[in-house]
Structure 1
């Protein structure tokens, strides 16, 4: 999650929840029974280039990044959205009475992809590097919430963490989120943002080849501490266009895809031979962010009026063909056990009244409201390779136009989109929230 100034300068305006449709090519065994087996190669189409898959190559959705980084790197614990984290590189963690000091015990049977031994020194180095170095998607869990004052290797398999203030969820959030880096490589990396070498991790797969904007090739880590993975190689061609991706699936060129099936393709794919659609909860939401430092978005009543002018159910019915749920003003996902139902107020007439009262009126009758003597025209940046978000932005623009506010969608490639978002160079921005952010209030508060 974007932090610092942006925490004060953005607000969600609309939310709708997508259903996840995972696509697989079925290959029935004799008699129809499904048997566990080793697979030589799996080809998975993915929709976006995510760089060389280090923690510093993060690019916002669409596309998966943390999941791919998790193939290469490991964390100390896993967080399955339960009360207790799952030990991973660590075997246990315990806190002192006020939860300011944590002692973590590590596995002693882990090696890096290049054969070097994994030790507590790598863990201590990683947390110092994240805390003191340039920010990335993960670093705020060591440099801000919480502030990890020190990470000290007591011996080869023991690390002691000291927080600036009590950190009772350190094992559940921080230790379960931050990928561990190999000290013998990263201690020589002065600018991680421009680091282009293939990553070295402890994870179940080694990134053997990366061709920018074309493909990834992962090879199984035969020495993985949990045993060799079931799939020997994972080939991931990068296919930004949804139609091309699912045509490749139908033609047998790929085995599965990371992109949810567009609503308009669900029927045809469901009828395709050897293609199975598996439906489940995506546990993610799409929302818009305001830059509340940009007038007139700096006015709360103006933002409230825009929110009331958006018909969320119409977005779901039109963009998703009804295959989703209209969101609510709550930031939490409706399937989260912490979610408290709130009704979104769609009332364009009231939205207009609020704008009138704020002095943002259509003085010349041309259908466009003015602010400080100038017609109000806002822009929204959206990913160029996500047709659903583009179509949503177009529909929201129409809805806001009904209350006299112009909204102009601006489609950007993922790299430029990320740069603009990080620099707060936008008025509105389309963004996808993921389970780490919107499934658990502790995660949200500490993100």
Structure 2
């Protein structure tokens, strides 16, 4: 396999315990579900993955999808961000670039069928790629290639200019859908696909508001999975997840639990893993031009919040001391290039109230009689959206609200269901919102910049943002991202000046206010199932909400005592 795209190693800290990794698909819910718990049927895996009542949305391109990416629908290859390794063939078997990076040739797996019995062919791949290109709402990767079917098992993708960086998303994060069904879909970004048809290892089973199942696909091209049923449960939040873990009612969760330094003793039969990779941020609706309103549209306010945080306190209170420092340029410390031009290579762990107030006052904000800053008759009062039940994030925003009082900033946490929170995030109906940024298909900061900071992914308030929900755009950042896209990622020297531009600009603009590097938790039942990722074999990123990594885990594990 010709791999002109270099897959770089992710920085992970794997130890004998874990902590939270709550992202867009995070944890939370509105009450315990019924159904089997851990310790039930030997080939049934019970997972905690819900947030409020489940909504039957199995469209892998929907920003509010429930499930489907990797489990029901597959990509061409699996790209592991947890370690450096060759892409794992799935629906694709081989790929090559031409010399100048303008044409990608892909060989496809033969003998694959969709779960309705129709054959999978190159026509489905072309249809999917064309659908992506023609629908900006789902084209968060900015794909603009021209796909040609060579024969039923081969396609080529041509680009107008070198597109080395397009390969990872195209090969590993685009979910191939059946042309014979999706050609009738009016809007692929909003159709919920309640009865999905895919090529993946699992199919949708029973569905209820607080529990749903996926069942092993008996005709899966790589053999029927040993785990016959995956039961997802909606619980009332992280505490309910920890309680269910204590009771042995679930087999895998990725959320914070008590006793992180003593997991195996506190939860007999379970073990856990940690990885510091995902940046926790206070996202801001940042662009006045795109319809954002409120004090957070002022970069001075965003910087003041950044300096007023006591991150050491946040780490201890919300993350049991195992979150990691974050860079304001969003290069992952100890893994990525971090610009020497940054004022802070990593965000200050202690607050600097004097700096925060200086920034505000130089921008024209003045304290009023209540001790809160105001400008042009508007007080510096902000709401921050957080999902009910996300206990670590709730603790984070409550603590930040207390910390900001000293800096003359009033912050009000606003809890809601995940569905309401996700909808508000997409439409820009918020001032601040707590979330984590997903790092992309490979261990390279380019993806974070191209996805979350590219003006090409910014849409007006009221329209659904697929990924740049901060609605940020800066011409210097956009130009640097465009240049990076053309450069072979092996050429570090050529890339560094563009990383310098991006990182130093982001430190000033700060559309996503850095908090900490989240410590991703996964705790799993090792008494009932074998084959989980370990420190010595991180064959997938160890988090239940990470797609398609969770699908790789589902395929790999086996009931304990099974063949």
- Contact 2:19–2:322 under 8 Å retained in 1: no
Instruction: Could you tell me which runs of 5 or more consecutive residues in structure 1 were left unpaired when the two chains were aligned.
Output: 1-17, 28-37
**Could you say what secondary structure the match of 2:419 adopts?**
helix
Please state if 1:227 is matched with 2:223. yes
- Contact 1:250–1:269 under 8 Å retained in 2: no
**Counterparts in 2 of 1:133 and 1:391: CA distance versus 1, 3 Å:** same
**Counterparts in 2 of 1:357 and 1:338: CA distance versus 1, 3 Å:** closer
**Counterparts in 2 of 1:183 and 1:335: CA distance versus 1, 3 Å:** farther
**Could you say what secondary structure the match of 1:208 adopts?**
strand
Query: 2:207 is matched with which residue?
Result: 210
Query: 1:87 is matched with which residue?
Result: 89
Q: Deviation at 1:156?
A: 0.6
Equivalent of 2:115 in 109, 113, 116:
113
Q: Deviation at 1:128?
A: 1.2
For 1:173 and 1:129, locate their aligned partners in 2 and report how far apart those are by CA, in whole Å. Answer: 15
**Could you say what secondary structure the match of 1:359 adopts?**
coil
- Contact 1:333–1:438 under 8 Å retained in 2: no
Query: 1:399 is matched with which residue?
Result: 403
- Contact 2:169–2:441 under 8 Å retained in 1: no
Query: 1:308 is matched with which residue?
Result: 307
Q: TM-score, normalised by structure 2?
A: 0.66
**Counterparts in 2 of 1:253 and 1:325: CA distance versus 1, 3 Å:** same
For 1:359 and 1:405, locate their aligned partners in 2 and report how far apart those are by CA, in whole Å. Answer: 14
For 1:347 and 1:59, locate their aligned partners in 2 and report how far apart those are by CA, in whole Å. Answer: 38
**Counterparts in 2 of 1:390 and 1:26: CA distance versus 1, 3 Å:** closer
Please state if 1:318 is matched with 2:317. yes
Q: Deviation at 1:393?
A: 0.7
**Counterparts in 2 of 1:245 and 1:343: CA distance versus 1, 3 Å:** closer
Correspondence list, 1:163-174, <5 A: 163-174=159-170
For 1:265 and 1:58, locate their aligned partners in 2 and report how far apart those are by CA, in whole Å. Answer: 34
For 2:192 and 2:346, locate their aligned partners in 1 and report how far apart those are by CA, in whole Å. Answer: 46
- Contact 1:26–1:274 under 8 Å retained in 2: no
Query: 1:389 is matched with which residue?
Result: 393
For 2:269 and 2:85, locate their aligned partners in 1 and report how far apart those are by CA, in whole Å. Answer: 37
Query: 2:417 is matched with which residue?
Result: 413
**Counterparts in 2 of 1:46 and 1:400: CA distance versus 1, 3 Å:** same
Query: 1:427 is matched with which residue?
Result: 431
- Contact 1:44–1:234 under 8 Å retained in 2: yes
Q: Deviation at 1:353?
A: 1.9
**Counterparts in 2 of 1:226 and 1:113: CA distance versus 1, 3 Å:** same
Structure with the bigger percentage of strand = 1
For 2:255 and 2:272, locate their aligned partners in 1 and report how far apart those are by CA, in whole Å. Answer: 10
Q: Which moved more, 1:183-192 or 1:282-291?
A: 282-291
Query: 2:473 is matched with which residue?
Result: none
Q: Deviation at 1:51?
A: 4.0
Residue by residue over 1:261-286, the C-alpha shift from the partner in whole angstroms, topping out at 9 and shown as x without a partner, is 33x35478654463323132153231
Correspondence list, 1:5-404, <5 A: 19-20=18-19, 40-48=43-51, 49=54, 51-59=56-64, 68-81=68-81, 82=84, 84-133=86-135, 135-136=137-138, 139-141=139-141, 144=142, 146-148=143-145, 150-192=146-188, 193-212=190-209, 214-254=210-250, 256-262=251-257, 264=258, 266=260, 270-272=264-266, 274-292=268-286, 293=288, 294-334=293-333, 336-338=335-337, 342-345=345-348, 346-364=351-369, 366-404=370-408
**Could you say what secondary structure the match of 1:218 adopts?**
strand
For 2:165 and 2:355, locate their aligned partners in 1 and report how far apart those are by CA, in whole Å. Answer: 43
Q: Deviation at 1:337?
A: 4.3
For 2:353 and 2:222, locate their aligned partners in 1 and report how far apart those are by CA, in whole Å. Answer: 56
- Contact 1:438–1:444 under 8 Å retained in 2: no
For 1:438 and 1:285, locate their aligned partners in 2 and report how far apart those are by CA, in whole Å. Answer: 15
Q: Which moved more, 1:428-437 or 1:371-380?
A: 428-437
**Counterparts in 2 of 1:441 and 1:258: CA distance versus 1, 3 Å:** same
- Contact 1:338–1:440 under 8 Å retained in 2: no
For 2:85 and 2:245, locate their aligned partners in 1 and report how far apart those are by CA, in whole Å. Answer: 38
- Contact 2:185–2:191 under 8 Å retained in 1: no
Q: Deviation at 1:306?
A: 1.8
For 1:273 and 1:418, locate their aligned partners in 2 and report how far apart those are by CA, in whole Å. Answer: 32
For 2:403 and 2:236, locate their aligned partners in 1 and report how far apart those are by CA, in whole Å. Answer: 28
Equivalent of 2:446 in 432, 436, 442:
442
Residue by residue over 1:146-189, the C-alpha shift from the partner in whole angstroms, topping out at 9 and shown as x without a partner, is 322x2222211111212243211333232211010011111112
**Could you say what secondary structure the match of 2:278 adopts?**
strand
**Counterparts in 2 of 1:318 and 1:195: CA distance versus 1, 3 Å:** closer
**Counterparts in 2 of 1:26 and 1:132: CA distance versus 1, 3 Å:** closer
Q: CA RMSD in A?
A: 2.8
